[in-house]
């Protein structure tokens, strides 16, 4: 019987696991949040992932559980583990992707380079941190943020007054130094429960309004030292935190050539979509191999360059589907991936991958193909 992999969450990341699962001969099942989700094709159950009984019913028929997102509560994850369910990544690892304060504290223990940071409970503590850091900082809500939501640049404690006021007893916000980065990078690694680990080349990510817009793989003009440092950081975090499956480490590169960790994702990640078409083993296949404890695949790029451009929002008029044939006809080298989502301003509804030996060409074609969906 095929190994049954249960994915909690029915978004585009679960959707993009479907084809690799078929190819690997795995039986993929998805617990979706509702009807009509991206991963509908594999959705065997619909329900609330915060409800332990819903999740218990779903995992009854699977051999291993993994995730499309990091929001499953620790109590639910720990109940599954106590029930004897194989959960990858497990709760001990996942907590560091669920709470940015818990992550900062653990990375400090591991000696991983990161921005200066503090947990602040009130305006006085926040102002003290800002005073020590040229009067500026980045305040983050520790939990539940994504795509730049829950991240705010502040110049005084007053700028975070609403978030401070909403804190419950004992709760804190994370404040970080405002890093003068020259660019953002991402390092992905995959790790199996048995400990095998592989690393992808470090990539450059371009954010617009806090949302990933483009990725170039590998990161252009990356010195050997940088490549090695980034890979070393990825490997030591995966091992230090006991991550199983794909790990993405978002990084800042500073003008004095330091690499600092921004945040972690323990699942396939937008920064790795290029690998679907640009690497020997794409991140969705790799994630499945890792959580199923199968031998990991080669991470080598298949071309000198790969470029990923997100399709954000979708067309102002007409449907995404109407734009397809035009994009395909004009750009046969572009690999267009859609998520089966209704267009909404700023929403990630698909992406385009283009690989080749000329970076400028690849960027041009990927942007031009993605522009068909504007
Ligand atoms: P999210 O969880 O919403 O993705 P991040 O912590 O990744 O939030 O922050 C979103 C973006 O905000 C980052 O990609 C980066 O551009 C900017 N940012 C975050 N932290 C800092 C920082 N300490 N210094 C400078 N810019 C930052």
Q: What is the pLDDT of residues 251-302, one digit of tens each?
A: 999 988 899 999 999 999 999 999 999 999 999 999 999 999 999 999 999 9
The pLDDT of residue 76 is above 80: yes
What is the reported pLDDT for 311? Answer: 96
Domains in the chain, please, with CATH? 4-87 (3.40.50.20), 116-176 (3.30.1490.20), 181-371 (3.30.470.20)
Residue 138, ligand 1, Cβ within 6 A: yes
**Strand pairing category for 211-217 and 203-208:** antiparallel
The DSSP H or E segment spanning 309 is strand 305-312
| Residue 99, ligand 1, Cβ within 6 A | no
pLDDT value of residue 228: 96
pLDDT confidence of 78, banded at 50, 70, 90?
A: very high
19 lines ligand 1 (CB under 6 A): no
Ligand 1 pocket check for 145: Cβ under 6 Å: yes
pLDDT digits (tens, 9 = 90+) for 176-206: 999 999 999 999 999 999 999 999 999 999 9
Average pLDDT value for residue range 217-227: 94
Q: Could you tell me the distance, in angstroms and rounded to a whole number, from the CA of residue 148 to the centre of ligand 1?
A: 6
Does the pLDDT at position 159 exceed 80?
yes
Burial of 253 (0-12, 13-18, 19+ CB in 10 A): buried
pLDDT for residue 268: 98
Rounded to 5 degrees, what angle do the CA atoms 270, 275, 277 make?
A: 120
Q: Tell me the CA distances in angstroms from 84 to 50, 56, 90, 95, 264, one per residue in order.
A: 19, 11, 12, 19, 26
Percent of the chain at pLDDT > 70 equals 100
Q: How far is the CA of 144 from the centre of ligand 1 (A)?
A: 14
Identify the band that residue 317 occupies on the pLDDT scale cut at 50, 70 and 90. confident
pLDDT value of position 149: 83
Do 241 and 261 form a contact (C-beta atoms < 8 A)?
no
Q: Any residues with CB less than 8 A from the CB of 307 and at least 6 apart, and which?
A: 214, 215, 216, 217, 274, 353, 354, 355, 359, 362, 363, 365, 366
Share the mean pLDDT of the chain: 96
Residue 346 has pLDDT above 90, yes or no: no
Lowest model confidence (mean pLDDT) among 204-208, 312-316, 347-351, 368-372: 312-316
Which residues partner with 264 through β-bridges? 249
Choose which residue among 262, 265, 270 to substitute to test ligand 1 binding: the one with the highest number of ligand atoms within 8 A of its C-beta: 262
pLDDT band with cut points at 50, 70 and 90 for residue 1: confident
The pLDDT of residue 303 is 97
The closest-lying atom of ligand 1 relative to the alpha carbon of residue 178 is 24
- Which pLDDT belongs to residue 315? 78
Provide the pLDDT for residue 356: 98
pTM of the model as a whole: 0.96
Which one of 41-45, 61-65, 142-146 scores highest in mean pLDDT?
61-65
- Per-residue pLDDT tens over the stretch 29-61: 999 999 999 999 998 999 999 999 999 999 999
Q: Is ligand 1 within 6 A of the CB of residue 362? A: no
pLDDT at res. 301:
98
């Amino acid at each position: 019987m095929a190994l049954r992999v249960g994915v909690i969450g029915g978004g585009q990341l679960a959707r993009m696991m479907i084809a690799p699962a078929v190819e690997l001969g795995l039986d993929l099942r998805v617990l979706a949040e509702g009807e009509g989700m991206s991963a509908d094709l594999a959705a065997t159950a619909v329900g609330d992932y915060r409800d332990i009984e819903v999740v218990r019913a779903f995992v009854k028929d699977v051999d291993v559980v993994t995730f499309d997102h990091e929001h499953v509560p620790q109590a639910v994850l720990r109940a599954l583990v106590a029930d004897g369910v194989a959960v990858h990544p497990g709760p001990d690892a996942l907590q560091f992707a669920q709470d940015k304060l818990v992550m900062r504290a653990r990375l400090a223990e591991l000696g991983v380079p990161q921005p200066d940071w503090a947990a602040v409970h009130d305006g006085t503590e926040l102002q003290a941190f800002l005073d020590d850091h040229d009067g500026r900082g980045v305040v983050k809500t520790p939990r539940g943020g994504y795509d730049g939501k829950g991240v705010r640049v502040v110049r005084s404690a007053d700028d975070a007054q609403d978030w401070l006021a909403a804190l419950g007893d004992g709760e804190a916000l994370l404040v970080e130094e405002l890093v003068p980065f020259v660019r953002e990078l991402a390092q992905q690694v995959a790790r199996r429960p048995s400990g095998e680990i592989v690393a992808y080349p470090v990539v450059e990510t371009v954010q617009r309004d806090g949302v990933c817009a483009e990725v170039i793989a590998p990161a252009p003009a990356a010195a050997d030292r940088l490549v090695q440092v980034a890979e070393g950081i990825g490997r030591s975090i995966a091992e230090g935190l006991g991550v199983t499956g794909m790990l993405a480490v978002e990084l800042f590169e500073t003008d004095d050539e330091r690499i600092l960790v921004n945040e972690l994702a323990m699942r396939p990640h937008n920064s790795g979509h290029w690998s679907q078409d640009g690497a020997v083993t794409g991140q969705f296949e790799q994630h499945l191999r890792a959580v199923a404890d199968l031998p990991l695949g080669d991470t080598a790029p298949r071309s000198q360059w790969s470029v990923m451009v997100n399709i954000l929002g979708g067309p102002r008029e007409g449907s995404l589907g109407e734009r397809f044939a035009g994009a395909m006809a004009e750009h046969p080298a572009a690999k267009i991936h859609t998520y089966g989502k209704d267009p909404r301003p700023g929403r990630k509804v698909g992406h385009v991958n283009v690989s080749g030996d000329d970076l400028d060409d690849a960027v041009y074609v990927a942007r031009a193909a993605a522009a068909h969906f504007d």
